[in-house]
Amino acid sequence: MKLACVVHRYGADIAGGSEAHCRQLAERLSVRHDVTVLTTCAKDYVTWANAYPAGASRINGVNVVRFPVRRPRRLKAFADLSDEVFDTRASAERQEAWFRENGPDTPALLDHLRAHGTEYDLVIFWSYRYYPAYFGVPIVAERAVLVPTAEEDPAIGLDVLEDYFKKPAGYLFLTPEEEDLVSRRAGRRLAPAAIVGAGLEPVGATTTRANVVPDPGPRIPDPVLLYLGRVDRNKGCHTLFEYFEQHLAEGGGDATLVLAGPAKIPIPSHPRIKALGFVDDATRDALLARARALVVPSPYESLSIALLEGWNHGVPALVNGACAVLAGQARRANGGLSYRSAKEFSAGLDWLLAHEREARIIGTQGRAYVDREYRWPVVMARVEALLELVAAARGTRRDHVSTPLSSTGA
């Protein structure tokens, strides 16, 4: 098949979750298909400033065509518009204006879809919230496959999404919770659809618990409660700090909270909180091999790769239960405990540290879940099956393609 993948940013040096998901799928799909990535020249996800040259290039065997961003994101206008459309019953025009302000504003990409969209068998779009996917899907709706990467954040409540989510010819979801959320917004079950998640490679022999790499950076006392990823308010880190400090103040165990990721907010100065900043893959693996538990405090997730990475290393998780995706994943995997308050956080952490053997079994259960659901051959088989189904169904009535692929297990 001739496939186009549309995503707001693309490149090996782009760290975003949906962007990485697109790149990993595009590279694997390109083994069997003619794949072209249609993206922007942006690198910075805040301003969308043009950083890459416009035009065609080739990255890891994938054809990439970049289109310039017409103007950087106007942060003040975007913040004001967000306040307006999220808090009130704003008109459809104002809600569409929000998608324009969110950007990256790339009209040339839409022009390309208008002019050449029919040359692709299918066009796969990532992340409904960004301009290319929001305005691109309607242009090629009959051949569009949407990877919404939807979270339970304010944007999902916008009225205009009810019609939008019904437009694509097929859907690739990351979790059952995401499928439920998007279907609820559309007002009906969306089909054909597949829950595909994302793939992970098995952990190498060098990073098993029996072969632990020594301390990364400053000396860190055990036991380690590990946080992986950007240290950011949007990831729930400010609440994590509050809960962890309260846990220690109330005589909770002697864990050390280790933060492995770039800090975007101030980190409390406390002997039991160690911020390592950005860490390389080897350090990350060493930390995972040593961690007694992985904490995932984010209130919004469509799929937590950090959680899957933790389970890939057999580390039990402690997740924010207010996030349906995290709580659902932890429950399905039998791989972690969830909390919804400071007291539940403290009780969960104490339990994981006090029951070392049981906690390890929970971590192992998490790894078994990753083995079942998140290895690349499993993921790609689901993706390929869905794409073939959509391609075969194109041109027939939508209600003739009403059988979704298995929604279980992922």
Partner 1 sequence: MTTSGPAIPVDAVMAELHERVRDRLRQELLQHGASRALEDPQVFAEVERVLRDAASRTATRALLLPDLLGDPASWRLEPALAISSHRGAMTASLIRGVKQRVLMPVLRWLFEYSHDNFVRQQRVNQVLFACVQELAIENAELRRDLATLRK
Cis peptide before 132 (omega within 30 of 0): no
Residue 201: how many other CB atoms lie within 10 Å: 8
Looking up tokens 């967000």, which residue turns up?
Answer: 82
Q: Strand 170-173 vs strand 144-147: parallel, antiparallel, or unpaired?
A: parallel
380 vs 183: CA distance, rounded Å: 23
Distance, CA of 291 to CA of 223 (rounded, Å): 7
The whole-angstrom separation of Cα 378 and Cα 17 is 19
CB nearer to partner 1: pick between 7 and 85: 85
Shortest distance, position 225 Cβ to partner 1, whole Å: 16
Strand ranges for 41-139 from DSSP E: 55-59, 62-67, 122-126
Min dist CB 344 to partner 1, Å, is 5
In 153-297, which ranges are continuous DSSP H helix?
A: 161-164, 176-186, 237-249, 281-290
The CB-of-348 to partner 1 minimum distance in angstroms stands at 6
Write the DSSP symbol of residue 94: H
Of 337 and 410, which CB lies nearer to partner 1 in the complex structure? 337
Give the DSSP letter string of 202-219: PPPGGGSGGG-----SS-
**Least separation in angstroms between CB 82 and partner 1:** 8
Cβ proximity to partner 1, 100 vs 331, nearer residue = 331
Of residues 263 and 361, the one with the C-beta less far from partner 1: 361
Q: Taking a C-beta distance cutoff of 8 angstroms, is the pair 47, 59 a contact? A: no
User: Minimum distance from CB of 28 to partner 1 (Å)?
Assistant: 27
- Which residues share a beta bridge with 50? 42
37 vs 325, beta carbon nearer partner 1:
325
Q: State which H helix or E strand residue 224 sits in.
A: strand 224-228
Contact between 4 and 124 under an 8 Å Cβ cutoff? The reply is: yes
Judged by CB, which is closer to partner 1: 141, or 368? 368
Q: Which residue type does 47 have?
A: T
For residue 229, how many other CB atoms are within 10 A of its CB? 20
Q: Which is nearer to partner 1, 126 or 128 (CB)?
A: 128
142/159 with CB nearer partner 1: 159
Q: At closest approach, how far in Å is the CB of 268 from partner 1? A: 18
Minimum CB–partner distance for residue 4 and partner 1 (Å): 34
| Site for partner 1, rule CB under 8 A | 79-80, 83-84, 86-89, 157, 159, 322, 330-331, 334-338, 340-341, 343-344, 347-348, 351, 358, 361-362, 365
